[in-house]
Structure 1
Amino acid sequence: MTGIQGAVKTVVVEPTPAALAERVADRFLTRVRARTRNGRIAHVALTGGSMGGAVLAAVAEHPRAKKIDWSKVHFWWGDERFVELDDLDRNSRQSRQALLDHIDIPSENIHEVATPSSGVSLEEAAAGYAADLARFGDDDQPWPSFAVCFLGVGPDGHIASLFPDRVEVTVTDAAALPVHNSPKPPSERVTLTRPVINSSKRVWLVMTGADKASALGLALAGASYASVPAAGAKGRKRTVFFVDEAAAEQVAPELIDRDY
């Protein structure tokens, strides 16, 4: 049954980006609370972008955030720009400002990609990130299974730093990859691979704006993941597209989940 659920892609629609951020934040806190209340660890993969930051800010402001035992939560990123910690392009900088700096969480629970000033190459940063992931996996799956994996989606259908018609989206024998000459700046990045993303219990794709409507339509229609990487993202239990009305203009009504 879990596999069937995960294969079905559903869409949750809110009228505005602000309302969407609040709904995702509420669902996120529900899932984290359910996962951690009996002492279990929750691994979470975050995303950047305006909606990634908006969701985390809404989490920080939510009354139930204070009831979470954040020591049981580990945060990762689906991708990271190979820039310094204080660079405006750094996804982790945005996440810290929006949420992580405002909750009581051990520093070792925040798993960041290395920076250029740490003295490593891009390839070494990707290898180090994969090694960190492997500490929470096993021989068969050398990475944790994320309770929630957040993904943004670009107008071109890219997720994390897996861009259309590039080799990274087809790699299955690594957990993290260096990305050179990214189609979207900054040019150097580290990204999780599809096997890591798709081993997540829940994959939540958050997207707003009319410029995302085409990518959403293609992802829901089952386009080739090599050409539309968002089409290949799926959680083992749930795959949910959280979108605003502008992004949902091409969505068939039967795909909209009004209760999730």
Structure 2
Amino acid sequence: MSRSNAVIVHEDADVLADAVASRLINRLADAQASRGEASIVLTGGRIAAKVYVNILGSSIRGVVDWSKVDFWWGDERFLPSGDPERNETQAREAFLDHLPVDPARVHPMAAADAVGTPEEAAARYEAELAAAAGGAGVPAFDLLLLGIGEDGHVASLFPGNPALDAEGAAVGVHDSPKPPPERVSLTLGALNTATAAWIIASGDGKAEAVDEALEKRELPAGRVEAQGHTRWLIDKAAAARLKHLEL
């Protein structure tokens, strides 16, 4: 399968969120037309929350059979179930709890009140991924959504953190530079099995990280390379340092 990369710039955060929501719905619909089902890896963050709200409000959301979509997460904060800072909580409140999803197809990472350590949560998630994949590895991810931090991190893979070089499918993360310090994340290898990866970024606070990740490919975000295509879906503020683009 050939690989391609592209940067697509939208006017502002609202336009970006609306465009990503529409693209996402069509991506899942196309996967279902091909395979009868679809699989997506969700992310957290402010712009992702906007995307999820726009999915719920979209006039075309009905083209997807939401009961035949598997929902995974790229990372999670190791906090108790229902904590408002968990990516799962954000996604459920924004759109999952309001769509006719199959609860058995929603795959959150284990919370801190269910297992004792991030490593236990990672091991449990790795086993769940392997089971969905038929016994080993990870299942087909039709779409991987990722945000990018101001330091260039994606999921909970931070520059210089040992988790960035972890093998397997999932890893416990300690000493995160952003609170909370303990997290769970898919590994870079697992992220890169996705058919399509979309890195979404909004605001001038992300501009330097976006530029460095695209130019040098050394930051975690720059090391994301999906099997089919990788798209950077950003707004003008986040693209401000990309001098080679005609904005």
* Alpha-carbon distance between aligned partners in 1 of 2:8 and 2:86, rounded to the nearest angstrom: 28
1:159 equivalent among 154, 157, 173: 154
Residue by residue over 1:3-23, the C-alpha shift from the partner in whole angstroms, topping out at 9 and shown as x without a partner, is: 342xxx211111110110000
Give the partner amino acid of 2:10: E
Give the partner amino acid of 1:110: V
Deviation of 1:86 (Å): 1.8
* Alpha-carbon distance between aligned partners in 2 of 1:163 and 1:39, rounded to the nearest angstrom: 34
The alignment status of 1:35 with 2:34, answered yes or no, reads no
8 Å CA contact 1:134, 1:143 repeated in 2: yes
Residue by residue over 1:37-60, the C-alpha shift from the partner in whole angstroms, topping out at 9 and shown as x without a partner, is: 355321100000101111111111
Partner of 2:137: 142
Partner of 1:115: 111
The alignment status of 1:218 with 2:216, answered yes or no, reads no
8 Å CA contact 1:130, 1:176 repeated in 2: yes
Partner of 2:223: 232
8 Å CA contact 2:152, 2:220 repeated in 1: yes
SS at match of 2:50: helix
SS at match of 1:164: coil
* Alpha-carbon distance between aligned partners in 1 of 2:19 and 2:40, rounded to the nearest angstrom: 17
* Alpha-carbon distance between aligned partners in 2 of 1:109 and 1:223, rounded to the nearest angstrom: 34
> Superposed, which structure 2 residues align to 1:53-202 within 5 Å?
53-138=49-134, 142-171=137-166, 173-202=167-196
SS at match of 1:253: coil
> Structure 2 stretches of 5 or more lacking a match?
none
* Alpha-carbon distance between aligned partners in 2 of 1:63 and 1:121, rounded to the nearest angstrom: 42
Residue by residue over 1:107-137, the C-alpha shift from the partner in whole angstroms, topping out at 9 and shown as x without a partner, is: 1111011112224432111100110111122
Give the partner amino acid of 2:137: P
Deviation of 1:138 (Å): 4.7
Partner of 2:245: 253
* Alpha-carbon distance between aligned partners in 2 of 1:104 and 1:233, rounded to the nearest angstrom: 31
Give the partner amino acid of 1:71: S
* Alpha-carbon distance between aligned partners in 2 of 1:38 and 1:174, rounded to the nearest angstrom: 28
* Alpha-carbon distance between aligned partners in 1 of 2:200 and 2:182, rounded to the nearest angstrom: 23
8 Å CA contact 1:89, 1:186 repeated in 2: no
2:201 equivalent among 207, 220, 228: 207
SS at match of 1:20: helix
* Alpha-carbon distance between aligned partners in 2 of 1:38 and 1:144, rounded to the nearest angstrom: 16
Q: How many residues align?
A: 246
Deviation of 1:235 (Å): 1.2
The alignment yields a C-alpha RMSD, in angstroms, of 1.5
Partner of 1:3: 2
Residue by residue over 1:201-250, the C-alpha shift from the partner in whole angstroms, topping out at 9 and shown as x without a partner, is: 111000011111111111111332xxx10010111111111111001112
8 Å CA contact 1:114, 1:120 repeated in 2: no
Residue by residue over 1:132-188, the C-alpha shift from the partner in whole angstroms, topping out at 9 and shown as x without a partner, is: 11112256x5111211100000010000000001111112x3100001121110111
SS at match of 1:116: coil
Percent pairwise identity: 37
Deviation of 1:70 (Å): 1.1
| Structure 1 stretches of 4+ moved >3 Å | none
Evaluate the alpha carbon distance shift between residue 37 and residue 165 of structure 1 in structure 2; reply closer, same or farther with a 3 A threshold.
same
SS at match of 1:231: helix
SS at match of 1:3: coil
